Amino acid sequence: SEFLCALLNNQPMGFYPPHTLINDAKRNSVQILPPDINQSRESCSVHGMQVRIGLGYVQQMSQEQAELIVAERRENGPYASLTDFARRLSMPRESTENLILVGAFDCFGMRRRESLWLLGLLHPAKVSKRRAKRTQQLPLALPVDQDAVELHPTSAWDQMEAEYDLLGMSPRWHPMLLLRSYLPEHVVQTSGLDGIADGESLAIAGLVVCRQQPRTAKGVLFMLIEDEHGLANVVVYPDLAKRERILIRQSSLLMIEGRMDRAEGPINIIARRFSAVDTSRTTLGTPEQINSGSSRSRRQLAPVSHDYR
């Protein structure tokens, strides 16, 4: 946990992006705790075998703002609610919105959409640019009972998407965990690769962690993909790499058909065919329970991945 915390607090660095680091840590008994307005420090912190993500990790949250939140909490006690937070601090609306979207206010028992609605009542959007620039805070309104509404809960997929966008990771959800029930049964998981014989055909799906195309590899592309259980190496020969270049470069979640290669010792998957993983039906509330509601098109999940040459 200490090693992971140090890595997170010194990003950007190294080969692996933060979401890969935390997923590996979770597979090794380290629990990742999301940002919490009453528990998080400015940077990530260690609590036994737990790592709490710091407030400064949230997009649009400056180190100065994170320090201000922690200092106010230390001096005047924990925040009692989102309203109490807004009254005590002059925080830009976008910063507070992002804190809501990554779950920093979940401790108050409100759903994230309800918290966003409340924030809109506390900080009306219409304000002069001159005044907003001068105060760095939108005018504070007092919501009344008739302003309260009941909103549908945010799905696990939407929460995960927002967390990847704003934290570069999701402390709770891996996208492949939420997508697994939608994939064909023949699609293997990384945990099952040891049982596949050399030369055997297989299909696997995962999140693209990195792509490498060394000049000495004569056009061969090497990819590292990740599912909820681990990592897998994929080798793409030049003809296929060239033919599927756009799909490989632009899709974060890929389905790969190929064959197992154990000739060199390490397990490699020799790619034969690529397709993008369909996320249009992901309306999950939890991996076990599907929320009611129609499917809708979604923006591309775009976690950090690296291209090396």
pTM for this model (two decimals): 0.80
Residue-level pLDDT at 151: 65
Which residues have C-beta within 8 Å of that of residue 89, sequence separation ≥ 6? 68, 69, 72
Residue-level pLDDT at 14: 80
- How far apart are the C-alpha atoms of 72 and 263, rounded to whole Å? 60
Which residues have C-beta within 8 Å of that of residue 295, sequence separation ≥ 6? 280, 281, 283
- How far apart are the C-alpha atoms of 3 and 5, rounded to whole Å? 5
- CA 212 and chain centroid, separation: 22
DSSP 194-250: GGSPTT-EEEEEEEEEEEE--GGGTT-EEEEEE-SS-EEEEEE-HHHHHHTHHHHHH
Task: Give me the average pLDDT of each 10-residue run along the chain (309 residues).
Answer: 96 89 94 96 96 95 94 96 93 93 94 90 58 47 49 83 94 93 94 94 95 89 95 96 93 95 88 91 49 39 58
Tokens matching residue 204: 């696997």
* Paired residues of 271 in beta bridges: 258
Tokens matching residue 108: 């108050």
Residue-level pLDDT at 305: 57
